[in-house]
Structure 1
Amino acid sequence: MTTVIETRGLTKRYRGGQLAVDRLDLAVPAGTVFGFLGPNGSGKTTTIRMLLGLIEPTAGSATLLGQRMPRAARAVLPEVGALIEGPALYGYLSGRDNLVRYDSADPTADPRTRRARVATALDRVGLTAAGSKKAKAYSLGMKQRLGLAAALLRPRRLLVLDEPTNGLDPQGMREIRTLVRELAADGTTVFLSSHLLDEIEQVCTHAAVMAQGRLITQGPVAELAAGTRGRLAVVTPDPADAARVLKELGLTGVVVAEDKVSADPPPPDADPADLNAALVRAGVRVRAFGVERASLEDAFVALTGEGFDVAG
């Protein structure tokens, strides 16, 4: 199988006319860590809910592990681990007993090895010490970890994670990224939805970008930004003067951050050496000068003409 997720014209229009997903054609290669990227409200979670058969599409089709959804849900979903919109937990039960409940609901799970599976899942997400603590006392980040542990109770061909680092501190985010890489190395395809561009760039091999319900682009992460010019960056002890000179030279989007001044890329016909010489002539002491490698955010802005609103 070359793709584990494939959609054709997938569309969801809610009552009242709201178009949440608009004719989505998506292809997720097997064995990848695939980032599903877009601002909050761009249609990511609605798409995932259709992929898993939780809601019916208005039009189009979705195939998971080679089988049509939601028709094949009973056969496919045991091979899929998922954490969608935060885990549903029994607050009065411990984290360990929550996982026992999840595992008991799986008709294919051997009850004789249940405790061992639960212990392994808790260990993989760093919750062994908190396993006996009631879930209602868990922080948001701990609940996210427990939900991920539930998705890992048995080997999965596909793991679908919706904002898996939500509520985690920086250390927790690093641990989840490491876990995702380990799962991919073991042969699991990971489909990871996020509104954090930096997270996608750090962990994903492939990505798709959504905006306002529509697919903007998809492909290997290294290629998505390859056609986009990165921002001009100047490191100097004279940032105010450097910003003034760049603006006078006609550059836009000038931003000052301590000793670094950045700006939108100059026109293709502009010689960076001339810009550097102009800064020096103006008395700006230049410690470093160049055009940075374009990021996914740069590519998103270039493709849509919009900023990436990570808060909304």
Structure 2
Amino acid sequence: MEELSAAEAGAETAPGAAPGDPDAAVIATRALTKRYRGGQLAVDGLDLTVPAGSVFGFLGPNGSGKTTTIRMLMGLIAPTSGAARVLGRPMPRASRTVLPQVGALIEGPALYGFLSGRDNLLRLDSADPTADPRTRRARVAAALDRVGLTAAGGKKAKAYSLGMKQRLGLAAALLQPRRLLVLDEPTNGLDPQGMREIRSLVRELASDGTTVFLSSHLLDEIEQVCTHAAVMAQGRLITQGAVADLAAGARGRLVVTTPDVTDAARALKEQGVADVVVEDGRVTGEPPDRELGEVNAALVAAGVRVRGFGVERASLEDAFVALTGEGFDVAG
């Protein structure tokens, strides 16, 4: 299997590299590939770099290869080819060294249904050879409180809702201080209030110096909490970088506010505006390759009462559509 050199992996390989060093790569892969029996190519030549201290969104539709990538990074499955380093060490070879420094929630938590939420965490903590048994109950209580499950800690896990199970899985990942937190669809099954709470928790963890690697198919979720992101589609990496830069790479939407939406749409099309969408009280479209002042003048000349005219900042959704020609679930 191909190995990353120290130079390719970045400052993360240096013994003195601090977890919060912005030049360090907490996760680095080169040509990482996974092909299953039968020829199915789940991940195809992935080159990924996750900066230390970032909240990194791993974005793509369901089935795009996100979970398979995470399973390779965590040493749960072996890649077919390519190389991966996590916290500066090769995976899966250095799993015993790396994983104690990583908290993870992948494909939902595995719980003992006959045990309470609190007893599940006590059992998991006792399996950690680095955990001090003298402070175990205090750690479990703190983890339950952090995810809002203190009141339900004595309830059997089999009676938990999907959202409560997700919270308990997060609590398990937070039993010990972690340099890296890997979350696969962490808001799955949560109601809107629960989603906001998890997003707030992710921001809090990042401010404390933990690098958070967050997989999601929700564009809105990534845009709200992440500093950096990578976009996957059909097993391949489409783009990666700072979220602000990814959005800036896409053109914004021209927005005209007017009571005369039908006349405005007609005039905009005549001016070369593509993808014109008529909404209640406004018309949007892709800005043409011409002076926008001329477009506004043409609207006025056509008798359109222009109440507002401008270009909205491009969103991550706009960037994804521009890169792939398709969209996916953007609900948050």
TM category (shorter chain) comes to over 0.9
**Partner AA of 1:80 in structure 2:** V
How far apart are residue 276 of structure 1 and its match? Answer: 1.8
TM-score (normalizing by structure 2)? 0.89
SS in 1 for 2:47: strand
Rounded to whole Å, the distance in 1 between the matches of 2:257 and 2:63 is 37
SS in 1 for 2:176: coil
Cα deviations by residue, 1:230-255 (Å, 9 ceiling, x for unpaired): 11112223334433433344432222
The one of 131, 135, 148 aligned to 2:153: 131
Q: State the match for 1:148 in structure 2.
A: 170
**Partner AA of 2:314 in structure 1:** A
How far apart are residue 129 of structure 1 and its match? Answer: 1.4
The one of 305, 313, 320 aligned to 1:285: 305
The one of 27, 37, 44 aligned to 2:59: 37
The one of 257, 267, 291 aligned to 2:279: 257
Cα deviations by residue, 1:173-200 (Å, 9 ceiling, x for unpaired): 1111111111011110000111111111
How far apart are residue 69 of structure 1 and its match? Answer: 0.6
User: Unmatched 5+ residue regions in structure 2?
Assistant: 1-11, 13-23
1:307 aligns with 2:326: yes
Alpha carbons 1:207, 1:220 under 8 Å: kept: yes
> In angstroms, what is the RMSD of aligned CA positions?
1.5
Aligned residues: 308
1:110 aligns with 2:129: no
Q: State the match for 1:236 in structure 2.
A: 258
Rounded to whole Å, the distance in 2 between the matches of 1:192 and 1:160 is 6
SS in 2 for 1:253: strand
1:297 aligns with 2:297: no
Q: State the match for 2:183 in structure 1.
A: 161
Question: Is 254-263 or 111-120 further displaced after alignment?
Answer: 254-263
Rounded to whole Å, the distance in 2 between the matches of 1:240 and 1:32 is 45
TM-score (normalizing by structure 1)? 0.94
The one of 29, 32, 48 aligned to 1:26: 48
Q: Percent identity?
A: 80
1:11 aligns with 2:30: no
Rounded to whole Å, the distance in 2 between the matches of 1:240 and 1:132 is 60
Alpha carbons 2:271, 2:288 under 8 Å: kept: no
**Partner AA of 1:111 in structure 2:** P
The one of 224, 245, 249 aligned to 1:227: 249
SS in 2 for 1:225: helix
What are the residue-to-residue correspondences of 1:32-71 with 2, within 5 Å?
Answer: 32-71=54-93
